[in-house]
Amino acid sequence: MKTIAIKPISWDDDHICIIDQTRLPAELAHEHCLTVPQVWRAIKKLKVRGAPLIGIAAAMGFVLGLKRSRVETWPGMLREAERLHRYLASARPTAVNLFWALNRMFNVVRNHVGVEKEELLGYLKREADAIVREDIQMCLRMSRNASRFIKDGDGLLTVCNAGGLATSGYGTALGVFYRAHEEGKSIKVYACETRPLLQGARLTTWELLRNGIDVTLICDNMAADLMRAGRIQAVFVGADRIAANGDFANKIGTYSLAVLARYHKIPFYCVAPFSTLDLKLKSGREIPIEQRDPSEVTSLYFKRPMAPSGVRVFNPAFDVTPSVFLSAIITEKGVIRKPFVRHLKDMYGRLPQKY
């Protein structure tokens, strides 16, 4: 069966149209972003989310911002581009894809100083479109590189949503499941609900069901029991930022799954494009972790209180998994094994400048 394409973001005439992911699975609602602050809020509030997708949203927001701006002349346009870069980059701190995409957009401006505004907008639109096109190609390549690690009949565990909704439409970790399914392998996916915002329960199960994948939802605290029962043969997760030694940040709860997988001798794979690498950081200790609003923990998905008002809350959006727990990092360029420092550096060194 062919995977159903999801389009979480697209141009609609001169503005941006997104699937509002906070409303899934109750409704598949679209929202139109006409201004840059709307794009910023959509990223901040997780209407668009997932590392690759927030990079794409920011790149498109950058085009929108320069187009809407009244500045027509240089160096005003350069100042405006700097402001847009800073502003959009402030939406979320952990996923490096956001900064990677904005840097690409800013470089286009820098490389065309002096051209007419209309011409510059054309270049910027082309760059944003290229980021989207490349993203889908990267997802397809990652899925091809990773599906060999899945055997017919496997039970597979994932957390959060690293699927079509988190990318331009196919996914990283979930892309691997789509690929295995397309190859005719029978798989059984277990999706952790992913407290507090339930990306696993709301989004992962939604898109896997649409694609005819056998999926079972579990509460986050059920993973150990499933592993001990021998029902999980591999764990596949995405990433928001990977440091030079292979430590990586992903949705809070990933680390505990990695520790459990090691204890139960289950392979644990991180599936992510090269745009998620941040080799400037020596280890995961340097990755900035986003702290989010306590109300995300104390209220039932923004609806009803679930904890006494005023209780102290710890709500990091991500955690860092030390690379010692990783079986491999699977990228669009190939599978990277230990020692990660050497292998990541070698592979990175062979890439074109824009990385």
Binding to ligand MRU, residues 291-320 (CB under 6 A): 317
Q: What gap in Å lies between CA 279 and CA 276, rounded to an integer?
A: 10
Placement of tokens 């870069």 in the chain:
85
Selected range binding ligand MRU among 74-82, 161-169, 308-316, 324-332, rule: CB under 6 A = 161-169
- Beta carbons within 10 angstroms of residue 225's beta carbon: 11
Placement of tokens 């505004």 in the chain:
117
As measured in angstroms, the least distance from the Cβ of 143 to ligand MRU is: 12
The residue within the footprint of ligand MRU, chosen from 51, 84, 88, 109 (CB under 6 A), is 51
Q: Lay out the site mask for ligand MRU across 194-233 (x = CB under 6 A, - = otherwise).
A: -----x----------------------------------
As measured in angstroms, the least distance from the Cβ of 16 to ligand MRU is: 18
- Beta carbons within 10 angstroms of residue 293's beta carbon: 13
167 within 8 A of 139, measured Cβ to Cβ? yes
- Beta carbons within 10 angstroms of residue 33's beta carbon: 24
- Beta carbons within 10 angstroms of residue 90's beta carbon: 12
Q: Which is nearer to ligand MRU, 299 or 315 (CB)?
A: 315
The residue within the footprint of ligand MRU, chosen from 8, 200, 238, 246 (CB under 6 A), is 238
Binding to ligand MRU, residues 247-286 (CB under 6 A): 250-251
- Cis ω for the linkage preceding 8 (within 30 of 0): no
- Active-site annotation holds for 319: no
Residue nearest to ligand MRU (CB): 238
Residue 150 one-letter amino acid: I
Q: Which residues bind ligand MRU (CB under 6 A)?
A: 46, 49-52, 95, 160, 162, 166-167, 172, 199, 238-240, 250-251, 317
